[in-house]
Amino acid sequence: MTDFEELTIPLPDGYPAYARFFPAIPCRGGVLYLHGIQSHCGWYESSAARLAGAGFAVLQPDRRGSGRNARDRGHADSCDQLLDDAFAALDVLTARTARESHHLLGVSWGGKLVVAMHARRPTSTESLILVTPGLFPRVGVSKTEMFRIGLSMVGAPHRLYDIPLNDPTLFTGIPERIQFLRHDPLQIHQATAAFYLASRRMDRVVQKLADAPPVPVHLLLAADERIIDNELTRAFVRDLQWPSVSITTYDRSRHTLEFDPDREHYLDDLVTWITNPRGYDRGQSELSGR
């Protein structure tokens, strides 16, 4: 497996965020790789290493309050703060690779964040790689809980609420991976009221994606999906009517493709597509499932 460098990214407000950088020599491009709401960069080490081995330098930051970032667990002040954090990481990748545009890869909730990044500041995007992106969740907090979260924003924005994804079988059906998720000390199980509101407001930014300049998009989905709505996600991406949109579905997999039976096919597809994303400019295409 490709070695990675551990580094600290100073976020705009001074928060020291943990990150991993996978170098590539020679470097064919850069990938900013963003994880999901509950996970951290350690879940996606294999795919980062595979991309680096193919010549793409990868930066994987742990989101503030997540993974190895112990301060303010599960918290973010606002949607703008989360976006500013992501752009700060992108600036680090730019400095490391001396390239002005990069591939933005987001898994689950991180998929929503990279879409919002392109909608907000599209000038540095080479492509969007959306892995089971959390654009249209099937699992979410109840209306009652959302009401409580709204009340908390008045006087207790740091109050924590459960993330409704604590059943590891939502992510994978592989027993060894289920055990890993049950005992992973770095994943978070709660998020603050402020984070939930920030995520909700990010949805408004996502809806502006159609107004952004087109870039190649690869949407990767799990057929046995239990967390997001695949059909709404497909429709959202197709409705962009961008010239290069590819969709790949893995027949035997659940939400975390890296953890499931089609893992090797998935890793191969990541590399094949990113090596020539504009090679799929034959129009919107649904790639055959595995």
Average pLDDT on 218-223 reads 97
The token pair at 279 is 């090679």
Q: Which residue has the higher pLDDT, 154 or 29?
A: 29
Ramachandran region of residue 108, left (φ > 0), alpha (ψ -120 to 50) or beta? Answer: left
- Among 8-22, 129-143, 276-290, the range with the most confident prediction by mean pLDDT is 8-22
Cite the DSSP H helix spans in the chain: 45-53, 79-97, 109-120, 143-155, 175-183, 193-206, 230-238, 263-275
Please tell me which residue, 1 or 192, carries the higher pLDDT value: 192
pLDDT of residue 283: 41
Interval 180-209: pLDDT, tens: 999 999 999 999 999 999 999 999 999 999
- pLDDT confidence tier of residue 141, bands split at 50, 70 and 90: confident
Provide mean pLDDT across the span 259-269.
Answer: 94
- Say whether pLDDT at 284 is over 80: no
Domain limits of the chain?
5-280
Between these two residues, 153 and 55, which has the higher pLDDT value? 55
Mean pLDDT of 163-185: 96
pLDDT-based confidence at residue 65 (cuts at 50, 70, 90):
very high
Report whether 172 contacts 259 (CB < 8 A).
yes
Structure tokens at 221: 């989905």
User: Which pLDDT value is given to residue 286?
Assistant: 60
**What DSSP assignment string belongs to 223-271?**
TT-SSB-HHHHHHHHHTT--S-EEEEEETT--S-GGGSTTHHHHHHHHH
What's the pLDDT score for residue 288? 47
In the predicted model, what is the mean pLDDT of the chain? 94
Asked if pLDDT for residue 64 goes beyond 90, the answer is yes
Band of residue 287 on the pLDDT scale cut at 50, 70, 90: low
Return the ∠ at Cα 201 (arms to 196 and 204), rounded to 5°: 145
Whether residue 96 has pLDDT greater than 70 = yes
Q: Which residue has the tokens 């978070």?
A: 188
User: Does pLDDT of 108 surpass 50?
Assistant: yes
CB 103 within 8 A of CB 32: yes
- For position 143, what pLDDT does the model report? 85
According to the model, what pLDDT value does residue 98 have?
94
Averaged pLDDT for residues 239-253: 94
Query: Measured between alpha carbons, how far is 85 from 99 in angstroms, rounded to an integer?
Result: 19
- CA–CA distance, 15 with 150 (Å, rounded to integer): 26
In CATH, the architecture of 5-280 is: 3-Layer(aba) Sandwich (3.40)
**pLDDT for residue 33:** 98
pLDDT tier, 2 (very low <50, low <70, confident <90, very high otherwise): low
Determine what percent of the chain is predicted with pLDDT higher than 90.
88
